[in-house]
Amino acid sequence: MKWWQSQPRDLPIMARLMRALHWWHRKLGLAAAIFIFVLSLTGIALNHTDGLRLSERTLTWGWLLNWYGIETPQVDAFAVGPDWLLSRDQQLYLNTQRVTSFDGDVVGAVVWQQMLVVATSKQLLLVTEEGELAEKVNHELGWPRGVNAIGVTPSEALMVKHDDQWLQADEALLTWSAPVSLVPANSLTWSVAGEAPAALVAQLPSEQHIDLERVVLDLHSGRLFGIAGVWMMDLAAIAMMLLAASGIWMWAKRRRGNRAIRTKRS
């Protein structure tokens, strides 16, 4: 039943108005409660930005970065035995352990003579089983330009694809030339990109982040949810003013009525 349906018809106009105001005061308070809570909580946090060190705290949650339009860098993954070689932001990782930075694009990784050999379009990197960089070989030291794949032969020889050619490495990995003997294509094991476990990727450090202070400020103003959020926070602020005004008016009206009753009794 609505508030106007429950009022006696012979009720004075002022009494009707007070009842209506009470009804709207409660409904408005309930509707604005969650927004008032967010405004108050974020306002307190912003008042203590330095103490809470909001500007120094960063968030790297993928869904939040996507919400802000900050693209999460792509992760390239290659299985190397029981481990994963991962690359992101020009950084190389063995599982979650950072190995080194690199140039170019990672095209593959293979295990060779108890070493991890990583091929990029501009460099060859040798990594130990412990995840430590042993050596970098670039174009000046003989690494071919335009390498797009790396693999191993049944005899444990390193082979790369250079444009449409196959090139085989010498023992020192300094000279790359066409193989002396014909190597059957189906006998080569080429490194192929795969999909690393999501839990492993989630542990990688990322340069992409957003300050906690900005998130709190955007939540306080409603900008976190676009123009609709801004309008909702504006309406919540207006609701707070209406609640204050109606509360003061009802208090003053009741106080005046109580004073009149005491005057009559005296």
Domain that holds residue 150: 76-202
- Do residues 48 and 99 share a domain? no
- Do residues 97 and 58 share a domain? no
What's the pLDDT score for residue 4? 47
Read off the pLDDT of residues 190-223 as tens digits, 9 standing for 90 and up: 899 998 888 888 888 776 778 899 999 998 888 8
Please return the burial class of 38, using the count of CB atoms within 10 Å of its CB with bins 0-12, 13-18 and 19+.
middle
Read off the pLDDT of residues 50-90 as tens digits, 9 standing for 90 and up: 888 888 888 878 788 888 888 777 889 999 988 999 998 88
Please check whether residue 257 lies inside any domain of the structure.
Answer: no
Position 40, amino acid: S
- Do residues 189 and 126 share a domain? yes
**Structural domains counted in the chain:** 2
Q: How many Å separate Cα 17 from the centre of its chain?
A: 51
Tokens of 117: 């050999």
pLDDT at 3 over 50: no
- Do residues 48 and 103 share a domain? no
Q: Would you report the helix, strand and coil content of the chain in percent, each value rounded to 5?
A: 40, 25, 35
Q: Is the whole-model pTM more than 0.75?
A: no
Please check whether residue 81 lies inside any domain of the structure.
Answer: yes
What's the pLDDT score for residue 30? 72
- Do residues 124 and 165 share a domain? yes
- Do residues 38 and 142 share a domain? no
- Do residues 142 and 129 share a domain? yes
How far is 170 from 159, CA to CA, in rounded Å? 10
- Do residues 112 and 213 share a domain? no
What's the pLDDT score for residue 176? 83
